[in-house]
């Protein structure tokens, strides 16, 4: 994998720090990179950055922001971060981005924080640059739900990156979906050539299908419920076994607007990945729909966020085993 140097610059173009990163994917106006946090731990108000954290970074040559997905060294999702910057300068050997102070943080449940607005206000920018930066902030905040950090409409899309990595590794994938109703599979099969690595899916909406087709134990469904870590993992294992895939990915949750309880509220979702070298389960409790009057909008937002997060987990795993 090709390595580049990322140079973070301040608003004057002065280099603040630089680090190496590996190229995961390229598009005409964008680049996706894999990097590690190799600096001392840094405790911030919203997250603690630790030595060894894994960063999946996307820079754009035609947009006034960049995007980062941050995971711990063992793969635990910490959240998503966006810098408002001048459009990045991307060459074969380096990526340069001039930071304009404004930042956005999205935690794993979808809560959004806008950071450093006072610092941005003090920068000596002309009216055009200030307006472009403000518009970038608006796009990021408005697009942060449902979980568009990185935005699902961005290129390279996560399903395209996943496809490239699966093909390069010679791996096959099967998907088991409940609350997303086939949305993960829809996005995967939107990529031309996905038949090279995608074997199929089971949309196991009913508990009976989870049990009879995927082999989720009845006592797990009875004791833990359809929306649980245990059920998500059993679904991932089951679809992997059923379709003979290298990797099994699953999603189960409560899309809403009804069906939630105090113990399991609307927006709760579990995503699992079963692989030859390990198994992982993520829990999210999406905040997008809270206070939204239209329950249909809340439902669609939760489904979209869950599909995006499932692709994110799969992508993080494939990047790690491909490039470390």
- pTM value > 0.85: yes
pLDDT (mean) for 31-56: 94
C-alpha 100, offset from chain centre: 24
Residue 175 pLDDT class (50, 70, 90 cuts): very high
Q: Residue 104: beta bridge partners?
A: 82, 114
Q: How many CA atoms lie within 13 A of 183 on its CB side?
A: 21
Q: What is the CATH code for 3-143? A: 2.40.380.10
User: Is residue 187 classed exposed, middle or buried when 0-12, 13-18 and 19+ CB atoms within 10 A define those classes?
Assistant: buried
Confidence of residue 151 (pLDDT cuts 50, 70, 90): very low
DSSP secondary structure code for residue 36 in this structure: E
**Residue 1: pLDDT band with limits 50, 70, 90:** low
Q: What is the pLDDT of residues 284-305, one digit of tens each?
A: 998 755 544 455 688 888 898 8
For residue 111, what pLDDT band results from cuts at 50, 70 and 90?
Answer: confident
Angle at the Cα of 68 from the Cα atoms of 157 and 174, rounded to 5 degrees:
45
Which are the contacts of 128, defined by CB distance < 8 A and separation ≥ 6?
A: none
Tens-digit pLDDT profile for residues 191-246: 999 999 999 999 999 999 999 999 999 999 999 999 999 999 999 999 999 999 99
- In the chain, domain spans: 3-143, 158-323
Other Cβ atoms within 10 Å of 134 Cβ, number: 14
Q: Enter the DSSP assignment of 293.
A: S
Hey, what CATH topology would domain 158-323 get?
A: Maf protein (3.90.950)
Return the minimum-mean-pLDDT range out of 147-161, 177-191, 307-321.
147-161
């Amino acid at each position: 994998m090709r390595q580049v140097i990322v140079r973070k610059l301040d608003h004057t173009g002065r280099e603040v720090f630089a680090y190496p990163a590996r190229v995961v994917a390229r598009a005409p106006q964008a680049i996706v990179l894999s990097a590690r946090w190799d600096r001392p731990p840094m405790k911030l108000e919203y997250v603690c950055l630790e030595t060894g954290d894994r960063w999946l970074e996307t820079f754009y040559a035609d947009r006034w922001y960049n995007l980062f997905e941050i995971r711990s060294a063992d793969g635990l999702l910490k959240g998503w971060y966006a810098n408002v910057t001048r459009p990045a300068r991307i060459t074969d050997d380096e990526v340069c981005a001039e930071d304009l102070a404004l930042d956005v943080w999205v935690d794993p449940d979808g809560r959004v924080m806008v950071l450093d607005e006072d610092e941005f206000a003090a920068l000596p920018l002309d009216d055009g640059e200030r307006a472009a930066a403000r518009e970038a902030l608006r796009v990021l905040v408005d697009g942060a739900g449902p979980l568009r950090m990185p935005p699902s409409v961005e290129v390279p899309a996560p399903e395209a990156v996943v496809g490239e990595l699966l093909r390069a590794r010679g791996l096959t994938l099967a998907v088991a979906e409940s609350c997303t109703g086939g949305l993960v599979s829809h996005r995967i099969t939107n990529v031309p050539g996905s038949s090279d690595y995608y074997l199929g899916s089971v949309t196991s909406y009913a508990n009976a299908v989870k049990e009879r087709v995927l082999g989720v134990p009845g006592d797990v469904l009875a004791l833990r419920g359809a929306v649980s870590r245990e059920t998500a993992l059993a679904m991932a294992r089951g679809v992997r076994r059923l379709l003979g895939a290298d990797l099994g990915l699953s999603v189960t949750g409560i899309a809403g607007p009804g069906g939630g309880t105090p113990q399991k509220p609307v927006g709760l979702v579990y995503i699992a990945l079963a692989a030859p070298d390990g198994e992982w389960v993520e829990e999210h409790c999406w905040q997008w729909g809270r206070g939204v009057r239209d329950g249909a909008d809340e439902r669609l937002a939760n489904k979209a966020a869950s599909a995006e997060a499932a692709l994110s987990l799969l992508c993080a795993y494939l990047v790690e085993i491909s490039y470390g």
